[in-house]
Every structure is written in structure tokens, then in C-alpha cells.
Structure 1
């Protein structure tokens, strides 16, 4: 670090404090009830943008001797199954009877000339994040060593200047966080609006019956099997069959949660593996995600034009009869996904869930005459397009607010704030 203001110095993290290793324990030592002889245990997944106090474990206090969390300790995620969690950290305060697990490390400052909050802000900066990235570059190991963190260099002004900078950042971040909260609320409101529009469209009489609720005159319940000419799964293609410039093979990630196809990441395979009947999709076809993690099974997308694309065995192609509107059926499946219907009917096994063609055919769909189907689909299309534009706007706002935070942190630790 160069060109720091006069009076600033660079110290390593290891020179201003020390690390404490987390508690190791056995599964049978976990307790179900907290009492005076036990402590709560924090793990790596509790460290997010804020401290998440869900899913806490409880262990005997005797296992956590000299490992009880104190005010102004900083907890680090040292190891995790998820690489993006490793290195995350949080300043801790007001925790009574808390310790931390073996996949975490606790840093305790022992230098009176260091502001805890100044250090905590630095550990959220791009300087720190880039340091962690460089340590883990080219490595598939999702863990950090204390030695790695102890060598982290920190630009430090005198204590009064640290406190001045903390005051500015505290005020600015509180205002930014207020705006972030509003943007997130707006996004949640948009999701509720979309859900409400779908609910009203497919249950116009607002009947509270859970299944096969009452429909308006001229509407009727139809099974997917009744209204389809074709329901066909795709075919599997292993990683060994993938090539950079081959034939497109659509996968589950190509289906969005809102009923559309995504082409940002395309997998291509050798043409000799193409199976003729499963090597194309046409306008108004429906692609249904038949196998995925439980919460994602049932993602459904409308095909809006002809593509010479194959599709995975985890996708099912559906062709409707002419008197039924594909877009409307996709919207109904989006509603079912939001209502967790597919989670209830899917077959679950280790790591995955699925819905086979027989079960898919039996799904009941509320349908008006074709002309009304087209009107409802057009209305929902309008609502979803407006909602999508607003979601993009608020999502960009959230990104801008996070970038503003990083800009302020960058200025702060260059001595320019």
C-alpha cells in the first residue's frame, strides 16, 4: 500500500490481535434446550451480510472453555461447503452465552489504538475481498488458514482519524441501508402483485376450496394429458459429450422462474448424440423442468420461436392441442410453482426430486373457452412485462447501492474521505 496520508501506517492483522479456534464437538453432544450449563454455537452459515440467528445449535458450556464470544470480537467463516461464504466475517456485540464452531475463527483485537468498527469496515472492503480471492485463486479447497488472514495488511490512521472515518461511514451506510430496505420491499411487493394477478386470473370466483375449486360458467377443469398432443422427455448427455461449438442441448438452468427461456449459458454437445425427435423445439411448445432440487421442480417456459435445439432428459416438451393457449398454461404452471404445488406432488430422493410424465399428465388446469384464454394470457403478459421492468429497475438500484458502499470504503482506506 502506497501514497497513504501522513500519519497513516500499515499493520498486519496478526500484529493487532489474535485468532481463537472454534469448538469441535460430536453430534451426540448437541443439546435440545438451552440452560445455564450450555451455550449457543454459531457456524459459518450464520455469517451473512448481518448475523443470522436461525438454526442455532446448543452444546455443553464445558466444551467452550476460553471460546466464549465477547463484545467486539470478529467472527470469520474459515471453511464451508460454499466457496463464496469462506472469508465472510462479522463484528459481534450483545451476544450472551455464545461460542462458535470449528469451521469458524474468532479474531480478538488486543491493541487499544485500533477502532473495532474501523477494522470491521475494512473487512467489508474490496481490498479485503481481493486479498481473499488471490489466496484462493486456482484452489478448489474451501478453507482459509489463520496464517493467511494474519498476513492481511491494513492501512491505519491515528485512532481519532479512525473514529472520524467510522462516523462518516456509519452515517452514510445507515442512509444507504434505508434505501436498500425500501428497494427490497418494492421487489417483494412486485412479487405479491404478480402472485395476486395469477390468482385472480385462474380463480376468478375466489373460491377457497384447495383443489378443483368452483369455476365460472363455460370454464372447465382439464388434465394436461387431455389437452396435449405430445408429452416427451429429452435425452441425457454427459460432460464427456460436451464440445464448444456443437449442437445446443438445453438444460434446467435455461428455464427461468417466470415462464421464459434463458440463453445466457448454452451447453453444446456432439451432433452424433442428437436424437431426431428430441432435437428441436417449436413456437408454442412448453418446456417443463421434471427433475431438479425440490424447490425448482416444475419451472416451466414457453417457447416463442422455432429452435434447432435439443433438450435434456430433465426437461419435458409439451405440445398442446390447437384449442388451448400455451402461454396461459405456462402462466398457470408459474402459479403452481409459486404456490409450491410441485413440491407437494414430486417424488423425492437423495439430492433431487422429480415428476414423471404419468403424474404430469394428471395435473388439472382451469380453462375458459379459447378466446377468453387468449385475453387472459394477454393481460398476464402485460402485467408480467411491467413487473419485469420494475424488478430490473429495483435490482439495479440494489446493485448501485452496494457499489456506492464499496466506493466509500475505497475512498476511506485510501485516506480520501
Structure 2
């Protein structure tokens, strides 16, 4: 902003806008969240124009909380934790306290240009370092400075950026759909591998010759993990990984964990050999799986399956990845505040088990397919990242007066 293009000016939000902060009705009154009024949180800011919310509120909630309406077309911006996520109200609506509604009061400001200006602005420099987390308040929002050309130039730039961003977003959308298609391809391959006779009901399922239904408890040793006491620092070191749900990152082979045990800690934990199947059995990430690539241990949120030589570890990994297994796991979990399946019920879960040679063939085919899909996914993700960088580059050119 120190070298502004000719005719541009620095404007403070306080000088060109009015800012309105949303509210959250009391969670203690369930009726407040039984209405039909759109009420946005940051997770709802998914597109340029927003007219859907994951939660809706009642007229009573609006009245009792003294909430102010945000008219259709208003510029919205998140300013708590997730900074600078913007959108426009696609209808009359309300927002929570993490979203600011920005009303233009200067007739020489184009709201769509202001949207791009806020996207280009480094909002983090307005964050109070004394406050925990990336959060602004209304006072800080008012201090935000943006660079503004004359109105005609704003409109010209908006026209170019709108057209360019629309093409880029369409390309990103296609790539995101390609990623979903790859997930569907993998699940289709798993379905064919573990349900070769295409019968969806286990009661009528005719297993191929030589296959058997086996419970997890029959084919391996089931171990629920534990966490050695944090009060004893000697239990922790760098020798053995202590796997937690967050360490199961989608890769098949898991070798590293955010917490590691010393030899003493490992001796006081539940030891798991290499090629142990790890399955999260509690919480929002229930069903996440991994295959340990080293000797280690796991915490109490994970059940481990150690082979008794009747199954190939990679075969069981792919069975557990399938929709069939994921559905029976969650179906048999108790639906309390957090879904959880205990060791006893987990041990009863049944899988189709072919002879070892066929397990090897199936695992080999799925392993190769999985690697090819992973490579394609990485390629698509790189392309998406490149498109996002292109948008940043266009913004930079625009605000340097080079567009």
C-alpha cells in the first residue's frame, strides 16, 4: 500500500462502511433452534452467495436475543479464528458473532470490489497478539485499511476478476468432483472384491467356494490401547510411536505418531507388532484405520487386531476400509454423546475371509489400485492448489494496478 497506483487511496472500513456483528441465541433453549430463519456460522460460508445454513433459528430466538436482520446482498466476513472468509447474503438472514455484516455507506465504493480488497488484505496484522487465537473485534475491524481506486476503475477490475475467478472456480469444481469420483472408484473396487456375488444382505450371502464368515475375534488378537501416565516423563521418548486417532491420516502404512514412548514406556504399554491393524472405535473419527509399519502402541481410542496367521494384514485393511465394514462398525456402536464400540462388540464383527492365497491376490490388486488412486489424488490436489495460487496472483496484479 506504500506504492499506490495513481488515483488510488487508502480507506479505513470505519470511513466507508457500517459494521454489524451477529449473535448466538442461548443453547439452553432448544426451541430457539427449531425455526426456519437462516442463521449463518463460518462453516456456511461456502460460496459467493449464501442462502443455506446448517442451523436455523426461530422468530422467538430473534426477538429474545434482539438480533438484527442482514438484508439480501450484504457483504459478510468472518473475523474469529478463520479470518477473512467472505460471502454475500443470498437472502435476508442472520449470523452468529463470528461473522460481520458490512454495509457500504460511501456511494463511491463497489461492494464487490471491497470483497476482493478484503481478500487481498493481510488481516492477521490487525490481530491483537495478547489475545489467544486469530480473532478480531469490532474496533479492530473498523481499523482495517484497504486500497481503493476511483469507482469506474473498481467496476472495471471487478469485471475482469469476476470472469477470471468464475473460470478458475469451475476448473476447481471439476477437479473436486474428480476427487470424489476416485473415492467412489475405490469403494466400487472394494465392493466387488468383498461381495463378488453381489448380494447385499449377509443372511442370503452365498460365499464363494473356500470363503468363510469369521469374526475379528476368531482371526486375531484384539487389543484396546492405553496411555502410559503422563505424570512419568520417563515413559516418553523417541523409540516407539504411541498411535492416536489423529495419527491415522488416510495412508495405509502408519510409521509416525505425534507422541512417542521410551523403552520403559513401551514396556508399560500394550505392545503391537508391525503390520497390526489399527481401528478408531470412539468419537467423530470412528472407523478411521491404519496399518502399523513399525512396532509400537496405541491409546484407548483405538482397537488393534494382531494376526494369528489366518489373514493377510493388507487384506484386512481393505476389508475395514470398505463401506460394508464401516457400516457394521457404526451400526454396532452405542449411540451416546459420542459413538463408541467396546472390545466385546468389536470382536464379534464379521468379515468375509477367503483362503490366504486369494487374500494375497485381492490385497495385491487393491494395493496397486490404491497407489494409483493416491497418485491421481495428489495430482488433482496440486492442480487445485495451483488454481488457488493463480487467484492470489490475479489479486496481486489488480491491487498493484497491473490488471
1:383 aligns with 2:369: yes
1:399 aligns with 2:385: yes
Q: CA deviation at 1:321?
A: 2.3
Deviates more, 1:153-162 or 1:405-414: 405-414
Structure 1 portions without partners, runs of 5+: none
Aligned length: 396
Q: CA deviation at 1:48?
A: 3.3
- Give the counterpart of 1:373 among 349, 359, 365: 359
1:233 aligns with 2:220: no
Structure 2 CA distance, aligned partners of 1:268 and 1:240? 15
Structure 2 CA distance, aligned partners of 1:289 and 1:64? 40
Residues 335-358 of structure 1: per-residue CA shift (max 9 Å, x gap): 1477433222123443x3332221
Q: Does the 8 Å CA contact 2:281/2:342 hold for their aligned counterparts?
A: yes
1:91 aligns with 2:88: yes
SS in 2 for 1:398: helix
Q: CA deviation at 1:360?
A: 1.9
Aligned residue for 1:255?
A: 248
- Give the counterpart of 1:152 among 136, 144, 148: 144
Deviates more, 1:113-122 or 1:55-64: 55-64
Quickly say closer, same or farther: Cα 1:237–1:144, change in 2 above 3 A.
Answer: farther
Aligned residue for 2:69?
A: 68
Q: Does the 8 Å CA contact 1:131/1:152 hold for their aligned counterparts?
A: yes
* TM-score computed with the length of structure 1 as normaliser: 0.85
Quickly say closer, same or farther: Cα 1:249–1:32, change in 2 above 3 A.
Answer: closer
Query: 4+ runs of 1 displaced by more than 6 Å?
Result: 63-66
Deviates more, 1:1-10 or 1:207-216: 207-216
Quickly say closer, same or farther: Cα 1:308–1:327, change in 2 above 3 A.
Answer: closer
Structure 1 CA distance, aligned partners of 2:224 and 2:67? 58
Q: CA deviation at 1:160?
A: 1.0
Q: Does the 8 Å CA contact 1:72/1:116 hold for their aligned counterparts?
A: no
Structure 2 portions without partners, runs of 5+: none
Aligned residue for 1:300?
A: 289
Quickly say closer, same or farther: Cα 1:365–1:340, change in 2 above 3 A.
Answer: closer
Quickly say closer, same or farther: Cα 1:186–1:380, change in 2 above 3 A.
Answer: same
Q: CA deviation at 1:40?
A: 3.6
1:415 aligns with 2:401: yes
Q: CA deviation at 1:65?
A: 7.9
Q: Does the 8 Å CA contact 1:23/1:102 hold for their aligned counterparts?
A: yes
Q: CA deviation at 1:239?
A: 5.3
Structure 2 CA distance, aligned partners of 1:231 and 1:299? 16
- Give the counterpart of 2:308 among 317, 321, 326: 321
Q: CA deviation at 1:74?
A: 1.6
